[in-house]
Each structure stands twice: as structure tokens, then as C-alpha cells.
Structure 1
Amino acid sequence: MHAPQDLVRPLATVEPDGTVEGYASLFGEIDQARDMVMPGAFAQTLRTRGLRRIPMLFQHDPAEPIGIWLDLTEDIRGLKARGKLIPDVARAREVLALVREGAVDGLSIGFRTVKGRIDPATRIRKLDVIDLWEISIVTFPLLSGARVRAVKTRAPTCRGRPAHPRTGHSPRR
């Protein structure tokens, strides 16, 4: 018996430098709250708010900041997010371990609707302009496709120098 396609989640890959990346929102897809984010919805807030004013949280909890966003861009698919978990934060280390093992991999946005409309036929709320407040790493995202796609961890070192990614030995000087 095969699992339905939407229940199969790819595990995040572990690579060398401590960043997480994935799509925080996907354009044209309906989430469990019957919202659909439209292309361009984040343009205004990304232009005016700036990266440092959009925190990376765990489970939408403002008391749980776990990292910083390094890059937030809209592309044809949605809002692509690349950020770094802060290793000095205990919860960030825990989240990194959970994401690395595939136990947690959801991304979810916290926002205020600036401009939206409800389609009378489908009762779907189409979000044209969003004021993005935060992006969280979560267990259960409302939009099933909003997932962390890659996790990078710090490169191992050998005698204080970066180690070779396959052998674990540092280059000779």
C-alpha cells in the first residue's frame, strides 16, 4: 500500500553552514484556513520592513526567537526564505536537531491582511497584500507545501581548520 503523495515529506538534507531554507508561502495554493496568497502579496512589506524586522520564531511564539532571516524573496512559486538558526540559543539547537531528523519541517507565516477578497463562489480568501510580521518553523503548517527544504550545519573542524566534507580531515599546510 502506498502513502498518498501529500503525506510523504522529503527529509531535510544536512549540509555545512547552519542555514535553513524553504518556502514560507506558496502562491495560488489553498491552506487549511481557506486562504490563498496571490503573487506579489509580500512585495510591499519586504520593501518597507526589511529582514531584521521579520523575526524567525518557533511555533509562532514571540518568546521563542530562534534565528534570523538572511534572504526573503518572492519568486514565481512563492515566498522563498533562507535564514540561520542561532547556535547560542538553546531552542535553536533543539530545532536544528528536530529539522535534521525530519521531526519538524514546517514553515508558517504570521501576518496581517492589508488587501484581500473573498471569492463568493468558493469562499476562498485571496490575499493580495500582506503585512508580514514573522516566519516560524512549526510542526503543523496550515499550508502543507510550506516546508524547510534544506538544513546546513557548521562544517566540522580538525585542529582548528575546516575539515574536508567527506573525509573529515583538515587540509595540510
Structure 2
Amino acid sequence: MPTPATKPNPDGRETRAITRGLELRAAGEGEGRTATGYAALFNVETDIGGYWKETIAPGAFTRSLRERDVVALHSHDTGRVVGRKDAGTLSLREDDTGLQFSNDLPDTSDGRDLAVQIERQDIPGMSFGFRTRKEEWDETVDPPRRTILEADLFEITYTAFPAYPDTSVGLRSLEHARAERRHIPPAHQLAERRARQAQMERGIR
């Protein structure tokens, strides 16, 4: 039975990448180019480093899109912003497939370069940065399955080299879920208890 879990590290951010064709169209006469595509896909099972399988549930970004600003970046570089939701240059919406975006590329070197790179297919897909708010772990299967039910979205990124899935935050979350199911403290809490106990013993001596 799936085990509900919450993120043990509230600041833990993760990144995922998808390779799915991007499209480029004219924004209007004399108005540059607009990139469109998907930054995340729903109900698609992804292998995360061999540690677990992961899917993103439909509607996982609904709250985030309503409450948060989101930026479009080049290569995860916060100094290379090419679109922003609150500025109206980046639009994001969820549909049955996933998180769809439309980005009016700026008339800057990055924006012009991206238009060429997307057209040439040098940029094969997107990456996105998020923090999980609600999730479920199912350990009745091997490897375990993680379903992301709700997530804070921070960025979408154009990248020529989709990053290998990071696992540190997810592994801590799995450890936390297992500890909750067994009613025992996670490993980091056990380590803290042992350290406090050692300090007390030194004090007694």
C-alpha cells in the first residue's frame, strides 16, 4: 500500500529533464519568436538512477502556477532569464499530457541563440526545477515507486545536456517514508540521539 510522505528537508529542490520536441513559431510581425512545448509530463514512469520509479500526477503544479512566479532559464543559469510568468513572457498551463509552456523569446543574444538552437534541434528538450510538497511511496514493488502529487515549480530550463536525475533529496524522502511506516526515527535523527547520548555520558564521567 502506498505510504504518504512529506519532504524531510523543506528546502530540498530537485531537477528532472525530458527530451520531447520543442516547437518554434513567429510571435507576430516584427515580434520575434515563441518557443512552445512541454516542461514536464504526467503519468509517465521515469527511472531515477535505478533507485526508484517516478511519475508526476496530473494537477501536481496547479497550486504552484496559481501562487508562484516561475522563470525560464538558459542552462539553469539564473543570470540568463529568457522568460518570466509574472512578466507575461512565459505562460504555463496543465493539460492531460503535462505542463505545457509558451515562451516569447527576448531580443537578446540568449533569445536569438535559442531560436536558432531549437530550430536546428541542438536543444533537445527541457529541464525543470521543483520542490515536492506531497508525494506517495509504494514499496510493495521493486524498485519502489514514487508519485509526486503536488510540487512547487521554480524554473523551466532549456538545456542541451539533460542532467542525470539527482537522487539525494528523493532518497532522504524515501528514508523518511520508511521510518514513518515503521514508527522509528529517520537515520539523521538516530545519529543526533546517539550524539546527545555520548555527550551526556562524557558529562557523567
Query: What interval of TM-score do these two structures reach, taking the shorter chain for normalisation?
Result: 0.5 to 0.7
How far 1:15 moved relative to its partner?
Answer: 3.2
Stretches (4+) displaced over 3 A? 12-15, 140-143
Change (3 A) 1:127 1:13: closer
> Does 2:34 correspond to 1:19?
yes
Tell me the equivalent position of 2:10.
none
Q: Does 1:96 align with 2:112?
A: no
- Is residue 149 of structure 2 the alignment partner of residue 139 of structure 1? no
The structure-2 alpha-carbon separation of the partners of 1:56 and 1:141, relative to structure 1 and needing over 3 Å to count, comes to: same
CA distance in 2 between counterparts of 1:63 and 1:91 reads 11
Asked whether 1:46 is paired with 2:65, we answer: yes
Number of residue pairs aligned between Structure 1 and Structure 2: 131
Partners in 2 of 1:125 and 1:31 — Cα distance? 10
Do the aligned partners of residues 14 and 79 (structure 1) sit closer, same or farther apart at CA in structure 2, a change above 3 Å counting?
Answer: closer
How far apart are the structure 2 equivalents of 1:13 and 1:47?
A: 25
Q: Which amino acid aligns with 1:56?
A: A
RMSD over aligned CA atoms reads 2.3
Structure 1 partner of 2:101 = 81
2:46 counterpart (31, 40, 43): 31
Q: Of the two, which has the highest radius of gyration?
A: 2
Per the alignment, residue 146 of structure 2 pairs with: 125
Cα distance, 1:9 vs structure 2 = 6.9
What is the TM-score with the length of structure 2 in the denominator?
Answer: 0.57
1:80/1:14 Cα in 2 relative to 1: closer, same or farther (>3 Å)?
closer
| Separation of aligned partners in 1, 2:70 and 2:34 | 16
The equivalences for 1:3-18 within 5 A come to 14-17=24-27, 18=33
Counterpart-to-counterpart distance in 2, 1:35 and 1:141: 17
